[in-house]
Amino acid sequence: MVVAVEYISKEESDDAETATHGVTGILAVQGAFAEHAAVLDKLGAPWKLLRAAEDFDDSIDRVILPGGESTTQGKLLHSTGLFEKIDAHIKAGKPVFGTCAGMILLAKKLDNDPNVYFGALDAVVRRNAYGRQLGSFAATADFGQLGSPDYIADFPLVFIRGPYVVSVGPEASVETEVDGHAVALRQGRILATAFHPELTGDTRLHELFLSL
């Protein structure tokens, strides 16, 4: 997906300014945040970029943690004060969607990095585990259990040096697998994918997130 030039200068959707709740806050300190904003626009869902702690106001009901570089995002989360805001949001059981680096930020433990960020998702994740040759690839797979209301068939998966799910604890469930390996996890109102649903033009996973 090519992100329209208009997103370079947009800080929020047109309807977000007057909204008192129901707005999705998209972490925008680094990474692929504009692509998530474009998907939410397609769905007519209000959004606001989170660049500073003040951006996290009472209108924010849900949060997206985009792909990018988790180490950089982690540092900027702390220096902006957004870490505390988003951490409190997650601890209150409110919806959060982490894609790629966002999954790393959510994981309880990283197996090749001493850092832990939100530590909310019951899984061990390895950064950059899809090596240089296999760093980026596309596939399709189903999301969720056949027969469940949240089931999504043939979802397109785009991986860009995505994290590898090493193990999944009892609190989290595996929603999508590729070659028998977990690439999407869910834990209550936490959704995390090793792939980039915002890059395919398929809005179904974002619709599911908005329904959580």
Which parts are annotated binding residues? 68-70, 127, 160-161
Reference 53, options 89, 105, 3; nearest CA is 89
Answer yes or no: 196 catalytic. Answer: yes
What are the C-alpha distances in Å from 112 to residues 73, 83, 100, 120? 17, 22, 16, 18
Which residue, 124 or 150, is less far from ligand GLN as judged by CB?
Answer: 124
Q: Does 100 help bind ligand GLN (rule: CB under 6 A)?
A: yes
Query: By CB under 6 A, which span of 6-14, 36-44, 98-106, 171-179 interacts with ligand GLN?
Result: 98-106
Backbone φ and ψ of 4, nearest 5°: -65, 150
Q: Which stretch binds ligand GLN (CB under 6 A): 5-13, 45-53, 68-76, 176-184?
A: 68-76
Least distance from ligand GLN to the Cβ atom of residue 170, Å: 25
Classify strands 107-110 and 121-126 as parallel, antiparallel or unpaired: parallel
**104 is an interface residue for ligand GLN by CB under 6 A:** yes
State the DSSP code for 199: G
Q: How many helices (H) and strands (E) does the chain have?
A: 6, 12
Nearer to ligand GLN, 11 or 69 (CB): 69
Let me know if 54 is a catalytic residue: no
Contact 95, 89 (CB under 8 A): no
Restricting to residues 160-179, which ones interact with ligand GLN according to CB under 6 A? 160-162
Q: Work out whether 126 is an interface residue with ligand GLN (CB under 6 A).
A: no
Q: Which stretch binds ligand GLN (CB under 6 A): 33-41, 82-90, 155-163, 185-193?
A: 155-163
Q: What element of type H or E holds 96?
A: strand 96-99
127 near ligand GLN, judged by CB under 6 A: yes
Beta strand pairing status for 181-187 and 107-110?
unpaired
Is position 177 annotated as part of the catalytic site? Answer: no
| Residues touching ligand GLN, count (CB under 6 A) | 12
Question: Are 30 and 72 contacting, i.e. CB atoms less than 8 angstroms apart?
Answer: yes
Q: How far apart are CA 199 and CA 207, in angstroms?
A: 15
| List of residues contacting ligand GLN (CB under 6 A) | 67-70, 100-101, 104, 127-128, 160-162
